[in-house]
Amino acid sequence: MNTYFKLLSQRKFDEADEYRKTLVPQRLVKFISLTSDEKLNEKKFTSLPHNQIWFSHVSTLNDPYEFECMYINHEELKKHGYDDYII
């Protein structure tokens, strides 16, 4: 991961992205828990056949430091074709 951050600090974004892709496994697994909230459970299950991933909102996570150090460079993402809604 040091290589990735080194490339980012050198503003070699394309190279960093290519390096990052080499670290991602072919299959990712997301474990979900079911609750007594049937609407929430349904939302979790219906996302699978539509090739979507359901995540909790950051405000409902149990780790108070979750996403505290995330930095999003809006200009760089826009340069690569992401619109404001996605960012």
Please check whether residue 86 lies inside any domain of the structure. Answer: no
pLDDT (0 to 100) of residue 1: 62
| The pLDDT value given to residue 40 | 86
DSSP annotation of 58: G
Note whether residue 65 is domain-resident.
yes
Residue 87 lies inside a defined structural domain of this protein:
no
CA distances from 31 to 4, 9, 71, 75 (A): 27, 33, 26, 33
pLDDT digits (tens, 9 = 90+) for 17-64: 999 999 888 887 877 888 899 998 888 888 878 887 777 777 888 887
| 85 is a domain residue | no
Domain containing 10: what range?
2-79
| The total number of structural domains that make up the chain | 1
pTM above 0.85, yes or no: no
Tell me whether residue 52 is in a domain. yes
Q: How far apart are CA 36 and CA 68, in angstroms?
A: 30
